Structure 1
């Protein structure tokens, strides 16, 4: 059985952290270590992390707020195993996520990374929608132009060797993943498989704030200028237009329209059954 390092950075996540940890303990693949890395939390998150007694769990805290990119790079350095998965502290994983992603990595040794589709949920885990990429592969142009759902960053699992040669840019406070995908893809080092099955529960309610989006679009324009070729000016213009639309939506208090646009509506009752079953499974899992 292939061992996996699961990295979970957290910052002031006391409301959701225990459930995120439960979703790790609920995995059908049980040969893992969990690295919980604090980013200078001022709430009770660190105490929750330290309360876990399982020897597979390691907790790190230096009291500093270094931001996500730095913490993700530190997880790579700390990882004992050659396969690394990540997740966010306010989300949940499907119990079969690690098992199914590992199967792809084991079946295709040329693949370095595997991501999945996702269920978008409210803070109390009510289903909003679902999204996945329309293909199992993605090209540089598709990454650049943000075609389809794209790469779900929080659901990434990959080989430690890939993360070692492709570290996150710690100068970026947001959209570090987008820059990483473009940088790796531009040098033909982005061998990724996009599992279309939704195996990740992403809390999006109140997450897409206008401030975050405007910063992300500003960083996006930097990426277009750096990596864009013949369509550079067109992409920059579209990004400015998106920023303008965000400002309008904020002014009329309609940012939730953007969230609805991101996700596909669910008309498959099997999805509701799956979500109910998996969330019940996670909630009933004991953390030792």
Structure 2
């Protein structure tokens, strides 16, 4: 069975559909752990409106940030497989089935991620991204480019327990997770090259979040690169992140941040549109 964890913070605009996409899964043997991180909107009420015995809701009224809640999900999980999902995203109805089957059939692999469709504020499909399927090394991850979509991860619980999140890193927690595991030679994964996750990327292409994320990545590079890459390469990578910050600031100043979102994804085909539409129709039929 699978423990699915969704941390929630002020996600009232999207949470209902996110939960519906979980309940619509063709894989039925799961628990859904919803952890509210001190939301001040209607998120908790939306979570409580679903009547399904597989749903467990936790709230303590405080805002402890994403890494703390992700570690909490690992501790609360009853089962040997843990799935990630963000509260503003959706997933293909066969996501869990395909990931679970892969891990069951490949005992040497600890986690599996997927490709994704990029979606907008009104669930409209904007593009897709299908990463290459290869295991990244620590030096490659330090360069800032990975093929791992954190929110689509299904991992063995024992791997999660070996690789907890650093609680004071709330903006590049996935980057540091992959890097620290790779440095320990504990990053054995596969990428299913299908768009099984629907990522609301428009919510992440924002100036404040991107700049803070780049700054956090630079901090991680500075304290994690010793013995992995040379000092020359470290400085080169940091310069690349500094350039990215400048580009983001310029695009924001001229009100063209949407270019970044479009640059990140490929165009969709008619088959993509049909697949997405069929999935969304099925998800919207889920009752409470």
Both proteins in one fold, TM over 0.5:
yes
Per-residue CA shift, 1:82-106, capped at 9, x if unaligned? 1000101111010000000001100
Instruction: Give the superposition deviation at 1:136.
Output: 4.0
**Structure 1 match to 2:92:** 94
Q: Distance in 2 between matches of 1:35 and 1:279?
A: 22
- Is residue 185 of structure 1 aligned with residue 182 of structure 2? yes
**Structure 1 match to 2:13:** 15
| 3-state SS of paired residue (2:202) | coil
Q: Distance in 2 between matches of 1:171 and 1:131?
A: 29
> What TM-score do you get using the length of structure 1 for normalisation?
0.95
- Is residue 163 of structure 1 aligned with residue 164 of structure 2? no
Instruction: Give the superposition deviation at 1:204.
Output: 1.9
Instruction: Give the superposition deviation at 1:135.
Output: 2.1
Per-residue CA shift, 1:215-262, capped at 9, x if unaligned? 111111112223331210100111111111111111111111111111
Per-residue CA shift, 1:172-204, capped at 9, x if unaligned? 121101001000000100111111111000112
**Structure 1 match to 2:284:** 283
Instruction: Give the superposition deviation at 1:139.
Output: 2.5
Match of 2:49 among 48, 51, 54: 51
**Structure 2 match to 1:24:** 22
Q: Distance in 1 between matches of 2:69 and 2:203?
A: 24
- Is residue 213 of structure 1 aligned with residue 213 of structure 2? no
Instruction: Report if the CA contact (8 A) 1:143-1:150 is conserved.
Output: no
**Structure 2 match to 1:252:** 254
**Structure 2 match to 1:274:** 275
Instruction: Report if the CA contact (8 A) 2:133-2:147 is conserved.
Output: no
| 3-state SS of paired residue (2:117) | strand
| 3-state SS of paired residue (2:193) | strand
Instruction: Report if the CA contact (8 A) 1:86-1:155 is conserved.
Output: yes
- Is residue 198 of structure 1 aligned with residue 195 of structure 2? yes
Per-residue CA shift, 1:130-152, capped at 9, x if unaligned? 102122432223322234x6210
Per-residue CA shift, 1:44-102, capped at 9, x if unaligned? 11111112221111100000000000000000110000100010111101000000000
Q: CA RMSD in A?
A: 1.1
> Aligned residues, how many?
283
Q: Distance in 1 between matches of 2:10 and 2:208?
A: 19
> What TM-score do you get using the length of structure 2 for normalisation?
0.95
Match of 1:232 among 234, 245, 262: 234
Instruction: Report if the CA contact (8 A) 2:115-2:193 is conserved.
Output: yes
Query: 5+ unaligned residues in a row in structure 2: which ranges?
Result: none
Instruction: Report if the CA contact (8 A) 1:40-1:62 is conserved.
Output: yes
Instruction: Report if the CA contact (8 A) 1:122-1:128 is conserved.
Output: yes
| 3-state SS of paired residue (1:264) | coil
Instruction: Report if the CA contact (8 A) 2:67-2:166 is conserved.
Output: yes
Query: 5+ unaligned residues in a row in structure 1: which ranges?
Result: none
**Structure 2 match to 1:112:** 110
Instruction: Report if the CA contact (8 A) 2:33-2:55 is conserved.
Output: yes
| 3-state SS of paired residue (1:205) | helix
Instruction: Report if the CA contact (8 A) 2:103-2:109 is conserved.
Output: yes
